[in-house]
A and B are shown apart, each in its own frame.
Chain A
């Protein structure tokens, strides 16, 4: 059966190829709009199967230092939600296959206006949303219009999401499930692979959706390990750190920054493809 959404189609394709996917996270407008656009446009060729794009927010309370800093860099460079949507629209003119998921916090969306945001997101070619501070209990005012417009809604699950909590989460989840393999904030400690495997099996009992596992993956080897037990490996802080390390004293990107990020993505993609996992 052909999946209706771009995200569904992408996971179908991965399944056919018998491998897991690589999901990359970068923040829109980090360190500036031009560099961010260059990275975004290069991601599919570098091997990203699905793109998560951070919507910058002044108070990213679920994120660790790396992504906090990237959010603030983006805001300082003048990034706004409207520009993030335009960035996706520009990308969409070149690439109609690679899913783009916007990830961020609710307040900028709320202030933009939920209906207007959903309409503009669809127009720009956004495929999914992750809104970190909207738990399933509070999500309906955005979830309903987003779903009605065909946008997938992805939720985070954590080791603390027990068997009582998971059904509430998966009931609203579409596209894929994002499993945060460590307790806490993004980009800090990485989990043991045995724990991740067990957790993925536990989540599978509750849903048939693909499962992406993230937080703490830095090397192609770690990406390969995750790819062996999940449907996709998510890499964020490791890429954002390359951006942070590629700035001059004035915070401007040094030449070749986008290329260095894309080189790392290519290496991680190679790791994921090497894992060659048969998805159950």
Chain B
């Protein structure tokens, strides 16, 4: 507890300090490569025949996803706090890579906890983290997946509170993490606001983003929450289908609970035991969801829907062939929902979808699902 209070206090001070944000935005520009473009996907727009579809191209960021926005923010905070060691949890390895990257950038030792099951599934990212100088510690406890990696990182943190900063990868975990990660990822939505005003002279009609823990979605949504005319949709992973029980849709099919210091919707049994999610996309299979998403769902401000593995796989291929962009399987879920709604609205309806990661990491998984064997 005192360790979380220390982060909360330090972040409150940093948040009010213009120098902190100058430093943050300098790294966003020169290291991450922001602002990422807001790109009009012309062929898909024609193909769907309705909404004008824009992609926020966060897959063009350094390291290939939105995760780096957050790890830059948190490492700058860790440095202000005088911490000399960083730990992180990772599921698919994207957050682990983004954390290992900023630790290499600042010369800070880094330990990434990763479930043993995930290590097997995500070998290229494991090697990437090691190349970046991070130590990847396999977690065998529980089911050896993301939630267990988070448990293990929390255990490390309480044992090494003096020198260690814990970089959490999504808008979940104990306060202030959900708010802090949102603030760093809000760079996405803030840029979209300025870019769509420049391109179209008005705000978008609809925003769509995929959700695991929910950080890319929260980053896009947050700057628009007060604009009531903007329809906002979060897309969860329905896996093999909600009815099969093999899914990751905490909001669509989970129940309220308390885990990792936040009260939110969770995948759990009727005895309150947490269960693992399933999704074709490893980045969406956190058994919870950021508490602010739960709140926005209860309020009705944001609609939450779900997309199956198969629908995401179809969208993945469609995007690749029609736009020459290989999306990560995570935003392929968002695109699959765009495909469902784009034709139902009038021409000129402005839809912005967050293309939050690139799909290089997924080509082996996709090949497997398409029945093609790649030699490694």
Which A residues have a C-beta under 8 Å from some C-beta of B?
57-62, 64-65, 68, 72, 75, 80-82, 106-112, 133, 135, 137, 160-162, 165, 183-185, 188
Q: Are A58 and B257 in contact (CB under 8 A)?
A: no
Give the total of B residues in contact with A, Cβ under 8 Å.
30
Q: Are B2 and A165 in contact (CB under 8 A)?
A: yes
Q: Are A185 and B257 in contact (CB under 8 A)?
A: no
User: How far is A57 from B261 in the complex, measured between Cα atoms in Å?
Assistant: 15
Partner of A185, one of B3, B158, B255, B256: B158
How far is the CB of A178 from the nearest CB of chain B, in Å? 14
How far is the CB of B43 from the nearest CB of chain A, in Å? 45
Q: Are B159 and A108 in contact (CB under 8 A)?
A: no
B260 within 8 A of A: yes
User: How far is A57 from B274 in the complex, measured between Cα atoms in Å?
Assistant: 8
Q: Are A59 and B159 in contact (CB under 8 A)?
A: no
User: How far is A184 from B158 in the complex, measured between Cα atoms in Å?
Assistant: 5
Sample of 10 A–B contacts (CB below 8 Å): A57-B273, A59-B147, A62-B154, A64-B155, A107-B272, A109-B272, A112-B272, A135-B1, A137-B1, A160-B161
How far is the CB of A28 from the nearest CB of chain B, in Å? 13
Interface residues of B in 1-58 (CB under 8 A from A): 1-3
B198 within 8 A of A: no
Q: Mark B255-277, 1 if CB is under 8 A from A, else 0.
A: 11111110000101011111100
Residue of A nearest to B255 (CB): A111
Partner of B273, one of A61, A108, A109, A183: A108
Given contacts A107-B268, A160-B2, contact A61 B258 (CB under 8 A): no
Residues of B within 8 A of A107 (CB): 257-259, 266, 268, 272, 274
Given contacts A62-B158, A135-B1, A183-B158, contact A108 B272 (CB under 8 A): yes
Q: Are B159 and A185 in contact (CB under 8 A)?
A: yes
Residues of B within 8 A of A188 (CB): 159
Q: Are A75 and B273 in contact (CB under 8 A)?
A: yes
User: How far is A108 from B160 in the complex, measured between Cα atoms in Å?
Assistant: 28
Residues of B within 8 A of A59 (CB): 142, 147-148, 151, 259-260, 274
Q: Are A161 and B271 in contact (CB under 8 A)?
A: no
Partner of B268, one of A106, A111, A137: A111
User: How far is A135 from B1 in the complex, measured between Cα atoms in Å?
Assistant: 7
Residues of A within 8 A of B150 (CB): 61
Given contacts A59-B147, A62-B155, A188-B159, contact A110 B1 (CB under 8 A): no
Residues of B within 8 A of A184 (CB): 155, 158-160
Residue of A nearest to B261 (CB): A133
Residues of B within 8 A of A75 (CB): 273
Q: Are A183 and B155 in contact (CB under 8 A)?
A: no
4 pairs of A and B residues whose beta carbons are closest in the complex: A184-B159, A108-B272, A111-B272, A61-B151
Residues of B within 8 A of A112 (CB): 271-272
B141 within 8 A of A: yes
Residue of A nearest to B259 (CB): A107
Residues of A within 8 A of B272 (CB): 57, 81, 107-112
> Looking at chain B's contact residues, is the secondary structure mostly helix, strand, loop, or mixed?
mixed
Q: Are B142 and A58 in contact (CB under 8 A)?
A: yes
User: How far is A183 from B157 in the complex, measured between Cα atoms in Å?
Assistant: 10
User: How far is A60 from B148 in the complex, measured between Cα atoms in Å?
Assistant: 9
Given contacts A106-B258, A108-B271, contact A68 B141 (CB under 8 A): yes
User: How far is A85 from B130 in the complex, measured between Cα atoms in Å?
Assistant: 47
User: How far is A59 from B273 in the complex, measured between Cα atoms in Å?
Assistant: 8
Residues of B within 8 A of A160 (CB): 2-3, 161
User: How far is A188 from B155 in the complex, measured between Cα atoms in Å?
Assistant: 11
User: How far is A75 from B271 in the complex, measured between Cα atoms in Å?
Assistant: 10
Residues of B within 8 A of A133 (CB): 258, 261
Max chain A C-beta neighbours (<10 A), residue from B141, B151, B266, B271: B271
User: How far is A133 from B1 in the complex, measured between Cα atoms in Å?
Assistant: 9
How far is the CB of A61 from the nearest CB of chain B, in Å? 4
How far is the CB of B316 from the nearest CB of chain A, in Å? 32
User: How far is A162 from B274 in the complex, measured between Cα atoms in Å?
Assistant: 33
Interface residues of B in 138-155 (CB under 8 A from A): 141-142, 147-148, 150-151, 154-155
Q: Are B142 and A111 in contact (CB under 8 A)?
A: no
Residues of B within 8 A of A135 (CB): 1
Residues of A within 8 A of B259 (CB): 59, 107
User: How far is A75 from B142 in the complex, measured between Cα atoms in Å?
Assistant: 11
For the A-B complex with A57-B273, A59-B147 known, give 11 more contacts whose Cβ atoms are closer than 8 Å.
Answer: A61-B260, A75-B273, A106-B258, A107-B266, A110-B272, A111-B270, A133-B258, A160-B2, A160-B161, A184-B158, A188-B159
User: How far is A112 from B268 in the complex, measured between Cα atoms in Å?
Assistant: 12
User: How far is A65 from B259 in the complex, measured between Cα atoms in Å?
Assistant: 19
User: How far is A58 from B158 in the complex, measured between Cα atoms in Å?
Assistant: 19
Q: Are A161 and B273 in contact (CB under 8 A)?
A: no
How far is the CB of B375 from the nearest CB of chain A, in Å? 38
Given contacts A107-B259, A165-B2, A185-B158, contact A81 B142 (CB under 8 A): no
Q: Are B271 and A80 in contact (CB under 8 A)?
A: yes
User: How far is A222 from B347 in the complex, measured between Cα atoms in Å?
Assistant: 77
Residues of A within 8 A of B273 (CB): 57-58, 75, 108
Residue of B nearest to A72 (CB): B142
Residues of B within 8 A of A161 (CB): 2
User: How far is A65 from B3 in the complex, measured between Cα atoms in Å?
Assistant: 22
Residue of A nearest to B270 (CB): A111
Residues of A within 8 A of B147 (CB): 59
User: How far is A80 from B270 in the complex, measured between Cα atoms in Å?
Assistant: 10
Residue of A nearest to B1 (CB): A135
Partner of B274, one of A58, A82, A109: A58
